[in-house]
Amino acid sequence: MRVKLTLSGLKNKAVPRDHFHQLSGLIYAMIQKANPDYSKWLHDEGFLDGSKSFKFFCFSKLIPEKNAYIKAGDNGEMIVFTKDIAALYISSPVREIMQHLVDFLLLNREIRILNHNLVIQNAFASTESFESEEELFKCITPIVLSTRNDEHKTPFYLRAYQDPAQFGEFLTKNAREKFRVFSGRESSVSIVVDGEYVEKVGRKSNIRINIVDDIEVFGSVVPVKISGTGEEIAFLYDTGLGEKNSLGMGMIEIAGKRF
């Protein structure tokens, strides 16, 4: 399920260019108002698989109207909205998460992001079903994948432009693991990066994202083809691709569809 929020009150307001951490906190706060115990469980534990924890939700950045913002700050690290309206998408395959968000939206018409009070003008919920066994998607937010090796003490973030085939293999492994944890069943879903696109844009597909102070990750904005059952494709559409979905990474949309 996916919810689109239309927010107003943004004109002349400034937010960090990478405001994923703030939006993640907002989503937990919305769930917390509807069900404090569930919000705490989701934040502190989530869906466990050994030492790994999955939250199974994803979201976009604040999406302004076309060209309705300017960059500010020495390195463009802030954005200032020049019009009043922006959209925010939130999605999850977990019924309880979306139900608690809907419960919040039924009783509240304002939210607070950073120091800004914004009005929820409307909220539209939708579900997407997939009958085809493969579908082409574009990125709303960057796809993050990492690996560890002896040469790096910290996670090494994979870049799709460096090795599209390897990026697709890691993406497939991650998708199958998430589906198994969520459903309790094995998956044969596979994901392939659009190699022609990557060859054309090269390093421009690589995005540096500042999550919080002194914590940066690297993600790739590339088209991907997902092959699998309709259930598997819908699950990935709702939960996001790659890692750090609960920080907004890896949200996708059907290629050619506006968002």
Question: HSE on the CB side for 23, CA within 13 Å?
Answer: 25
Q: What is the pLDDT of residues 14-51, one digit of tens each?
A: 999 999 999 999 999 999 999 999 999 999 999 999 98
Indicate the SS3 state at residue 101: helix
| CA–CA distance, 51 with 63 (Å, rounded to integer) | 34
Q: Is 43 a catalytic residue?
A: yes
pLDDT digits (tens, 9 = 90+) for 116-172: 999 999 999 999 999 889 999 999 999 999 998 767 677 899 999 999 999 999 999
Residue 93 to residue 235: CA distance in whole angstroms: 6
Of 139, 124, 128, the closest CA to residue 3 belongs to: 124
Catalytic residue among 28, 38, 116, 197: 28
How much is the pLDDT for 179?
98
Tell me if residue 161 is catalytic.
no
What whole-number distance in Å separates Cα of residue 21 and Cα of residue 171? 23
Which bin fits 237, alpha (ψ -120 to 50), beta or left (φ > 0)? Answer: alpha
Domain 2-126 sits in CATH at: 3.30.70.1890
Query: Which token pair is 115?
Result: 């120091």
Q: What's domain 134-254's architecture?
A: 2-Layer Sandwich (3.30)
140 closest CA partner among 212, 59, 194: 59
Would 2-126 and 134-254 be classified into the same CATH topology?
A: yes
Residue 214 has pLDDT above 80, yes or no: no
Domain map of the chain by residue range?
2-126, 134-254
User: Looking at residue 74, what is its pLDDT?
Assistant: 82
User: Which of these, 248, 252, 254, 253, lies nearest to 59 by C-alpha position?
Assistant: 248
- Of residues 19, 21, 38, 43, which has the active-site annotation? 43
Instruction: List pLDDT tens digits, range 159-205.
Output: 999 999 999 999 999 999 999 999 999 999 999 999 999 999 999 99
For 11, the token pair is 């004109």
Q: Is 62 helix (H, G, I), strand (E, B) or coil?
A: coil
pLDDT on residue 203:
96
Q: What is the pLDDT of residues 99-122, one digit of tens each?
A: 999 999 999 999 999 889 999 999
* Residues ≥6 apart with Cβ < 8 Å to 206: 159, 160, 161, 218, 219, 220
Instruction: Give me the percent of the chain exceeding a pLDDT of 90.
Output: 87
Phi-psi map region of 135: left, alpha, beta (phi>0 left; psi -120 to 50 alpha): beta
At residue 104, φ and ψ (nearest 5 deg) are -60, -45
The 10s digit of each residue's pLDDT in 225-256 is 999 999 999 999 999 999 999 999 999 999 99
Confidence class of residue 258 from pLDDT cuts 50, 70 and 90? confident
pTM, rounded to two decimals: 0.95
Tell me which DSSP letter residue 144 carries: B
